[in-house]
């Protein structure tokens, strides 16, 4: 999906403002059908992706659990999320560009995408009301009762949600809900859990009690747990063989951003970060840049930590550390820390020679 140009977005917002009614709160409303028409070009790439903003809506609404059940044609979401006002349900699509209430905005994104599927039923139900979003405009029925919020989708074609079929929704949930701060269950199996610290040489857990990230100890290597230097929490792995990336956990979902730092993978929770209109991509705003600066300092400290414990590495890990520590030497040289750079360089030279000899017995 292509990001909208700022000029187009501004004209779109102007059209909404001039064509809608201004409420006493200062916000504006507009015709739901017109909103969905204008936002068609910003719809999610695939309709099945509705499942991600739907989970995000429930988590943003304060849910302590999300339970998802599959049964033939029906997919049901259950959560103890905050109740919505009737006006929010009726004017749901007016929240598509209003990020002041992310519970409602994510729900609008989800419903807007799910309507593209072949559905017989698409409903949202809480204790005091039920909303049906098909066939066209939302229909609200008041009721009295107790219990959690339930979102229900039912397809026309039998077997679309069958357990024997690897439905796209299942894959999306497994891929994006692994680090959710609350239990997210699919047919009784919990998809969320701790961050497993494997495939690395050194780890750093930047702890923030208000933004918990649970990490499972690797049982090897060096792990440092310390207070976070900013209003975020993070678990950083250095020496990871996979692509270097920052994985942002926001409203229960992961958003992956590639980076160019060698062998670094960081899982982060930072409430200052925001997503684009689709809710799928992290916006590179000043909050993102501030986070990058702090994570970069922690990355450098972790490289120094790795060098400090270099002699405790097993032979395989020691070889794997060479390119990382070579980068550390270059960075120290670039910043004028010549003594430290020389110290690292001497150790690297000795170990490169050792590695060359072990790979070439004749030369040895």
> pLDDT (tens digit, 9 = 90+) per residue, 279-294?
889 999 999 999 999 9
Split at pLDDT 50, 70, 90, the class of 306 is: very high
pTM: 0.83
pLDDT tens string 130-152: 999 988 778 899 988 788 999 99
Which pLDDT score, from 0 to 100, does residue 246 have? 97
Look over the chain and give the mean of its residue pLDDT values, rounded to a whole number.
83
pLDDT at 361 over 80: no
**Which comes out higher in pLDDT, residue 310 or 360?**
310
CA distance 184 to 188: 9
Which pLDDT score, from 0 to 100, does residue 166 have? 41
pLDDT tens string 67-124: 999 887 889 999 999 999 999 998 888 888 777 899 999 999 999 899 888 899 999 9
- Pick from 132, 154, 134, 152: nearest CA to 142: 132
Which pLDDT score, from 0 to 100, does residue 10 have? 45
Which pLDDT score, from 0 to 100, does residue 9 have? 46
DSSP code per residue over 4-54: PPHHHHHHHHHHHHHHSEEPTTS-EE--HHHHHHHTGGGS-SSGGGGHHHH
């Amino acid at each position: 999906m292509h990001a909208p140009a700022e000029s187009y977005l501004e004209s779109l917002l102007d059209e909404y403002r001039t064509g809608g009614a201004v409420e006493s709160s200062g916000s504006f409303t507009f015709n739901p059908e017109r909103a969905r028409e204008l936002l068609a070009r910003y719809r999610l790439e695939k309709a099945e992706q509705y499942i991600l903003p739907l989970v995000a809506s429930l988590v943003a609404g304060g849910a302590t659990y999300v339970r998802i059940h599959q049964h033939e044609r029906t997919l049901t979401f259950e959560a103890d999320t905050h109740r919505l006002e009737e006006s929010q349900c009726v004017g749901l699509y007016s929240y598509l560009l209003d990020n002041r209430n992310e519970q409602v905005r994510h729900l609008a994104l989800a419903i807007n995408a799910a309507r593209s599927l072949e559905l017989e039923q698409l409903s949202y139900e809480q204790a005091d009301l039920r909303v049906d979003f098909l066939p066209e405009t939302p229909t609200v029925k008041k009721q009295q009762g107790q219990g959690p919020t339930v979102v229900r989708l039912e397809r026309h074609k039998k077997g679309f949600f069958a357990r024997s079929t690897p439905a796209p929704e299942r894959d999306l949930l497994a891929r994006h809900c692994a680090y959710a701060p609350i239990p997210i269950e699919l047919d009784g199996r919990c998809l969320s859990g701790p961050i497993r610290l494997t495939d690395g040489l050194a780890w750093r857990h930047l702890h923030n009690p208000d933004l918990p990230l649970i990490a499972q100890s690797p049982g090897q290597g060096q792990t440092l747990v310390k207070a976070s230097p900013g209003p975020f929490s993070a678990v950083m792995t250095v020496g990871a063989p996979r692509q270097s990336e920052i994985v942002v956990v926001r409203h229960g979902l992961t958003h992956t951003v590639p980076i160019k730092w060698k062998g670094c993978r960081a899982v982060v929770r930072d409430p200052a970060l925001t997503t684009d209109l689709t809710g799928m991509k992290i916006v590179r705003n000043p909050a993102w840049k501030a986070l990058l600066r702090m994570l970069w300092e922690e990355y450098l400290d972790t490289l120094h930590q790795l060098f400090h414990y270099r002699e405790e590495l097993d032979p395989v890990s020691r070889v794997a550390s060479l390119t990382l520590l070579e980068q550390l030497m270059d960075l120290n040289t670039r910043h004028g820390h010549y003594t430290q750079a020389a110290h690292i360089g001497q150790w690297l030279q000795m170990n490169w020679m050792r590695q060359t000899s072990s790979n070439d017995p004749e030369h040895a």
